[in-house]
Amino acid sequence: MHALFFETFGGPEVLRYGPVPRPELLPGTVLMRVKSIGLNYADIYRRYGNYHLVGEPPYILGYEAAGEILAVAPDVTHLHVGQRIACADVPHSNAEVMRVPVEHVIPLPDDIAFDQAAALLLQGLTAQYLTADSYPVGPGTVALVHAVAGGVGQLLTQFIKARGGQVIGLTSSPAKREQALAAGADAVFLYQDAWEAAVRDYCGAAGGVEVVYESVGSTLAQSLAVTRVRGTVVFFGMAGGDPAPVDPRQLMDRSLTLTGGDLWNYLTSRAEREQRAAALFELVRGGQLQAVVTAAFPLSEGPAAHRLLESRQSTGKILLHP
């Protein structure tokens, strides 16, 4: 089989497409013929060596994919060859065939396309736990969403609106601002402008937002500054660089909460994965949730897909197709 892999850390130029051994079918697993793969910023972190990796070189990227079962281990009785499935937290998805432990299999309903699943699961489940677990958004919640025109940003916007909240977004260009407004944001400000003052002005007497969804990293100090007394900043990414250290006295002085989020701490069982995915699919059916796919590349053109994502010029989701 063929896969997208790398052997040394670095930029998109370290990626290679070529033949690799097909994964072995082990007890408690299935082999999936991959139809669609979701590209995520975590793949860039891993390519640079800044995020956890599984295995030894050559490293095969990817954790999110959808496809059909190609083979089933003898001890697996509830799944069958040809069944449509997906996964959001299984390594080595950037390949024609991947091995999926049965605990991580998400059965795919017939009305959810492969591309929909690959575009939605990882980022959608992320937006789900951020708005339900990290900080429970409710009617009237005023939230600030960084990188609001990106894949997670647009899904966060939809989740917050579905739960009755308001969204203030931050993005990098007028075109992305229009994209975010079309996705449902109530107001969108540009990073290159005086966005801290704009956010405070928008919030008026409240003094700031109730919750900030911080995925840039280098803007953490500014996020804390625009959070109202007793507000919360949820740190879940660092696409713009590592955050500066936070003095805990800053949290004490205004009774702020700074919390972190990682999807892997929520997808801890087969039941959790299936229940959370089922809730996502129900929102899709109800028209409340839609993943926007802005580009799709053959897996062999993986370096170009990485360059697009890393350029921060894309909005929505980028897919790879074996």
Q: For residue range 153-194, list pLDDT tens digits in order.
A: 999 999 999 999 999 999 999 999 999 999 999 999 999 999
DSSP string, 241-281: -PPPP--HHHHHHTT-EEEE--GGGT--SHHHHHHHHHHHH
SS3 119: helix
CB hemisphere CA count around 15 (13 angstroms): 25
Q: Are 197 and 189 in contact (CB under 8 A)?
A: no
Burial tier of 103 (Cβ tally within 10 Å: 0-12, 13-18, 19+): middle
The residues that bridge with 167 in the sheet, in sequence order, are 143
Residue that has been written with the tokens 């990073």 in this structure: 191
Q: Where are the domains of the chain?
A: 2-121+264-321, 139-260
From its phi and psi, is residue 208 left (phi > 0), alpha (psi between -120 and 50) or beta? left
CATH hierarchy code of domain 2-121+264-321: 3.90.180.10
Structure tokens of 67? 């496809």
DSSP string, 56-120: SSSEE--S-EEEEEEEE-TT--S--TT-EEEESS-S--SBSEEEEEGGG-EE--TTS-HHHHHHH
Best CA proximity match to 138, nearest among 120, 161, 116: 161
In single-letter form, the type of residue at position 161 comes to K
Q: Which fold has domain 139-260?
A: Rossmann fold (3.40.50)
Sign of CA dihedral 320, 260, 217, 291: positive
Residue that has been written with the tokens 């697996």 in this structure: 76
Q: What's the rounded Cα separation, in Å, for the pair 32 and 105?
A: 10
Q: What's the rounded Cα separation, in Å, for the pair 277 and 93?
A: 18
pTM of the model: 0.90
Q: What DSSP state is assigned to residue 130? A: I
Structure tokens of 302? 């993986």
Q: Are 25 and 31 in contact (CB under 8 A)?
A: yes
pLDDT the model gives residue 314: 77
Distance, CA of 322 to chain centre: 21
pLDDT band at residue 315 under the 50/70/90 scheme: confident
For residues 9-31, average pLDDT: 97
pLDDT tens-digit series, residues 199-234 = 999 999 999 999 999 999 999 999 999 999 999 999
Q: Are 258 and 231 in contact (CB under 8 A)?
A: no
Share of the chain above pLDDT 70, in %: 100
Predicted confidence (pLDDT) at residue 151 exceeds the cutoff of 90: no
Q: What's the rounded Cα separation, in Å, for the pair 208 and 201?
A: 8
pLDDT the model gives residue 52: 77
Find the angle CA(206)-CA(207)-CA(212) to the nearest 5 degrees: 100
pLDDT the model gives residue 238: 85
